[in-house]
Amino acid sequence: MSARILIVDDLFPNVKLLETKLSLEYFDVLAAMNGPDAISICEKGLCDLVLLDVMMPGMDGFEICRRLKSSPTTAHLPVVMVTALDQPADRLRGLDAGADDFLTKPIDDTALFARVRNLVRLKAVTDELRQRALASREFGMGDPLALATAEDGQNASILLVEDRASSAERLSAALSQHHRVTVVADPHDALVLAIEGDFELALVSLDLQGFDGLRLCSQILSLDRIRNMPVMMIAEENERARVIRGLEFGVHDYLLRPVDRNELVARVRTQLRRSRFSETLRGAVQASMEMAVTDGLTGLHNRRYLDSHLAVLFADAAPRHRAVSMLMLDIDRFKTINDTYGHDAGDEVLRSFANRIRLHTREIDIVARYGGEEVVIILPDAEPEAAHHIAERIRERIEAVPFLIQRETRDIHVTVSIGVACRHADDSGPADMLKRADLALYRAKSSGRNRVEAEAA
């Protein structure tokens, strides 16, 4: 993928060198010579990945990385630290600051490009999601980005595929402080477990006996259900070519043996944070779409949902001569409840009313709040007699037990009137049935309330 790479380094020749290399690979390159400039470019959304030097006057690379990774605006940007520091402690400091990788100079170009491409591709996949989630924030659905950024990357269920007992034990021990680890030696078992289990991350040894660990990685990454699960490789130092191969087809990260426990913990945490970040955004988008068809007060479906599904149901039912029945419910003297006990009490009654209805309807029925104190229930495949029977049961259940409100300090006797109607073969659409149900409800009201009335024969 083509992408905009931000190089952050206070030394001009370093910038120039990286710029030339990346430019030859058809990346678009920007540069910043200090931390504040770098952060500003990232905040403006002008780059897709940051190559970050550590040693700079003023704000150092660790601090820049920490700031980028802790802000909802920039946390999604991959950061690769590139530095001459080569102590494990430096590396760890970088990873702890949230860096996606830490490469030591002199840089192996192949490794660098493979890593950059790998991170840029992963980012492209979640960018779309981020855009949608940003919209959900504008619509006032809370801030999924802030929530996602706060993720700590702990307490995951991890699948470790390793057939060397000693290594499995060491890796498992390091991870078990923060996570639950399942070790499996056989790659075929591993694939089954990955599909059927509920793992959040897989760690795969590339030197399994008689099996290509890379194959297992690619299989996991191709599976629809677990495609978003991060996969990490564990490889021998001399297997860099295979590691790069893995990065090319989408493996998320790797560790070289002997595996440093702290580095393992840090890299696993980074992967979990990233994937949970996406999961949070996905959930936010989903939730805000669900809200569009849900009544905020009662949690029932709303009229928009009712109208759309009723139209589909009618279109389906007509050619197959299938029954569709409808109940229109209206709480009796609801205005008196509001006027006597206040609107909050009225809301409480509505919520309890909705819950009680849910208890007496099936999964396939559509229960929707139709207006203030009106609820419509659609009963697919229900003949008139059955619909009438269900209506009578609901009426009876509402009347039978008073509604507890105001923290159960008060109970209100509530009754409901119900009009029942069914689809007719000559109906031109759902509106005809709705009208008949409305008329039946009117008769139920005018003949004394707390009654079920069917449409006129």
373 is annotated as an active-site residue = yes
Q: Provide, rounded to whole angstroms, the least separation between the CB of residue 178 and a second copy.
A: 28
240 binds a second copy (CB under 8 A): no
> Residue 314 corresponds to which tokens in the numbers above?
């009618």
Residue 276 as a binder of a second copy (CB under 8 A): the answer is: no
Residue 217 binds to a second copy (criterion: CB under 8 A) = yes
Region near a second copy per CB under 8 A, out of 67-75, 100-108, 160-168, 298-306: 298-306
Among 74, 83, 126, 275, binds a second copy (CB under 8 A): 126
Count interface residues toward a second copy (CB under 8 A): 55
Residue of the chain from 259, 293, 354, 439 that contacts a second copy (CB under 8 A)? 293
Peptide bond into 88 cis (omega under 30): no
> In the set 11, 135, 364, 401, which binds a second copy (CB under 8 A)?
135
Give the integer Cα–Cα distance in Å for 317 and 312. 9
Among 72, 197, 250, 283, binds a second copy (CB under 8 A): 250
Rounded to a whole number of angstroms, the minimum distance from the CB of residue 78 to a second copy is: 15
Q: Which one of residues 106, 319, 371, 448 is an interface residue with a second copy (CB under 8 A)?
A: 371
What is the nearest approach in angstroms of a second copy to the Cβ of residue 136? 6
Under rule CB under 8 A, residue 136 binds a second copy: yes
Q: Between residues 176 and 308, which has the closer beta carbon with respect to a second copy?
A: 308
Q: Is 397 in the site for a second copy (CB under 8 A)?
A: no
Name which position in 17, 21, 28, 318 contacts a second copy (CB under 8 A): 28
Residue closer to a second copy, measured from CB, 309 or 389: 309
**Min CB(93)–a second copy separation in Å:** 31
Name which of 361, 352, 433, 428 is nearest 390 in CA terms: 361
Contacts (CB under 8 A) with a second copy, residues 409-448? none
Give the burial class of 456: count Cβ atoms within 10 A of its Cβ; 0-12 exposed, 13-18 middle, 19 or more buried. Answer: exposed
CA neighbor of 80 nearest in space, from 98, 102, 64, 53: 102
- Per the CB < 8 A criterion, the answer to whether 159 and 192 are in contact is no
Three state DSSP letters for the chain? CCCEEEEECCCHHHHHHHHHHHHHCCCEEEEECCHHHHHHHHHCCCCCEEEECCCCCCCCHHHHHHHHHHCCCCCCCCEEEEECCCCHHHHHHHHHCCCCEEEECCCCHHHHHHHHHHHHHHHHHHHHHHHHHHHHHHCCCCCHHHHHHCCCCCCCEEEEECCCHHHHHHHHHHHHCCCEEEEECCHHHHHHHHHHCCCCEEEEECEECCEEHHHHHHHHHHCCCCCCCCEEEEECHHHHHHHHHHHHCCCCEEEECCCCHHHHHHHHHHHHHHHHHHHHHHHHHHHHHHHCCECCCCCCECHHHHHHHHHHHHHHHHHHCCCEEEEEEEECCHHHHHHHHCHHHHHHHHHHHHHHHHHCCCCCCEEEECCCCEEEEEEECCCHHHHHHHHHHHHHHHHHCCEEECCCCEEECCCEEEEEEECCCCCCCHHHHHHHHHHHHHHHHHCCCCCEEECCC
In the bound complex, what is the minimum distance in angstroms from residue 204's beta carbon to a second copy?
13
Catalytic residue among 200, 239, 373, 455: 373
Residues forming a β-bridge with 101: 80
290 binds a second copy (CB under 8 A): yes
Which residue from 218, 262, 361, 450 is in contact with a second copy, where contact means CB under 8 A? 218
Rounded least distance, CB 52 to a second copy, Å: 19
Which residues ranging from 38 to 67 are in contact with a second copy (CB under 8 A)? 45-46, 48
Please report whether residue 222 would count as binding a second copy according to CB under 8 A: yes
Contact letters for a second copy, residues 301-340 (x by CB under 8 A): -xxxx--xx--x----------------------------
Can you tell me which of 285, 300, 367, 437 binds a second copy, judged by CB under 8 A? 285
Based on the shown chain and the rule CB under 8 A, indicate whether residue 121 belongs to the binding site for a second copy: yes
Task: Compose the 140-179 pattern: x for residues touching a second copy by CB under 8 A, - for all others.
Answer: xxx-------------------------------------
Q: Does 277 participate in binding a second copy (rule CB under 8 A)?
A: no
Q: For binding to a second copy (CB under 8 A), which residues are involved?
A: 1-4, 25-28, 45-46, 48, 121, 124-129, 132, 135-136, 139-142, 214-215, 217-219, 221-222, 224, 245, 249-250, 282, 285-286, 288-293, 296, 302-305, 308-309, 312, 371-372
Indicate which residues carry an active-site annotation: 373
